[in-house]
Structure 1
Amino acid sequence: MPSLVAPTVDVHISFLEAMDEYVAEGRGGLDDFSNIGNDIRSYAATWSTAEGFARYVSYLRAQRLEETPRPPGFVPTTVLWWLDGAEYLGRLNIRHRLAPGRAGERNGHIGYDVRPGARRQGHATAMLAAARPRAAALGLPRVLITCDFDNEASRRTIERNGGRLTDRLDEKLRYWV
């Protein structure tokens, strides 16, 4: 049964297969502002080696710490992977607070992504449900979650987890859960 866990080197092969799926669907380009897209651009050149992957995993795990250096406007974030044994199925980020300004209002507290080969199997809904107690433990009893207005699958995922549509900001629908 899949579960949310801290990033681990134990799923290196499956992780690389998932990243190949993302690249095949066009992710990682300069117009991909997602965490997956940024990580592909920043780490794909080195994460194929055990050492490079270990550095990447350490980087992700350090993002939860307040003292970790990060770009302006970025906030501490707990990164979790949705794993079924050694199979990487997806990723979820819990931002410990909203980023300052419009970025926080557009991105919300929680973001998630399911690898292309594991979509339409209920993973996003289960992953978000599993993240809610973790967010509460971080002091977030209510979380803002956003999705593109035309992303029907993500909208259903949020609504299945109790999300109430608040408004639309540009192309983003904003839900409180």
Structure 2
Amino acid sequence: MTALVLPTLDLYESWAACVADYEPGMTHGSGMWNLPEALQTDTDRDTCEALVALLRRLGREVPGTIVPSDYWWITDGADVIGFLAIRHRLNDWLLNEGGHIGYSVRPSRRREGHASRALGLALARSRELGIDRALVTCDDDNVGSARTIESQGGVLEDVRGVKRRYWIEL
């Protein structure tokens, strides 16, 4: 059953296998880009521990341009199968490119309905955060993600550059 769980070192081996399933830099929603560049592709236990600690801190207000965000691991039982981030508000970049919710499911577990279920869970959490209208984006050529967003009530507003921008009323 698809679930969202807070990142935890208890799932280290499954997390490392999940990250290894992606092409480098394609782990959307993972938060790994917040690590120092040299660690962004590492899957050793120390990197996972640093990532877990960092992601827990990012849910709070932080100075600068980073908006508070909740980071979740998408799981199926004890298996980490993807990543999801919920941004509490939008800055200019998120309004045009990233949206309130970013997610990805590892390549070997796609087309099983996990993305739709995870997005549905994220929308419920967004409602709890007081977001009444969520922006979710995907690449214009990502037909699977567009269908996922539409299955959860996404209404296409426009395409800006290579990004399709959908709004979902909560």
Q: TM-score range by the shorter chain?
A: 0.7 to 0.9
| Structure 2: unaligned runs, 5 residues or longer | none
- Greater mean deviation of Cα atoms: 11-20 or 101-110: 101-110
Q: Percent identity?
A: 39
TM-score by length of 2: 0.88
Instruction: Give the alignment of 1:49-68 within 5 angstroms.
Output: 49=45, 51-66=46-61, 68=62
Counterpart code for 1:62: R
After superposition, the CA RMSD in angstroms is: 2.2
TM-score by length of 1: 0.84
> Secondary structure, in 3 states, of the residue corresponding to 1:79?
strand
> Secondary structure, in 3 states, of the residue corresponding to 2:74?
strand
Q: Work out whether residues 137 and 164 of structure 2, in 8 Å CA contact, stay in contact via their aligned partners in 1.
A: yes
Q: Work out whether residues 7 and 79 of structure 1, in 8 Å CA contact, stay in contact via their aligned partners in 2.
A: yes
- Change over 3 Å in CA distance of 1:146–1:123 after alignment to 2: same
Q: Work out whether residues 83 and 89 of structure 1, in 8 Å CA contact, stay in contact via their aligned partners in 2.
A: yes
> Secondary structure, in 3 states, of the residue corresponding to 1:64?
coil
* Matching of residue 82 in structure 1 with residue 74 in structure 2: yes
* CA–CA separation in structure 1 for the residues paired with 2:81 and 2:28: 17
Residue number in structure 1 paired with 2:121:
130
Q: Deviations over 1:76-121 (max 9, x none)?
A: 100011112321011110000002x244321110000101111111
Aligned length in residues: 166
Q: Work out whether residues 43 and 56 of structure 1, in 8 Å CA contact, stay in contact via their aligned partners in 2.
A: no
Q: Work out whether residues 106 and 146 of structure 1, in 8 Å CA contact, stay in contact via their aligned partners in 2.
A: yes
> Secondary structure, in 3 states, of the residue corresponding to 2:13?
helix
Match of 2:44 among 42, 48, 54: 48
> Secondary structure, in 3 states, of the residue corresponding to 1:128?
helix
| Structure 1: unaligned runs, 5 residues or longer | none
Question: Deviation of residue 47 (structure 1)?
Answer: 4.3
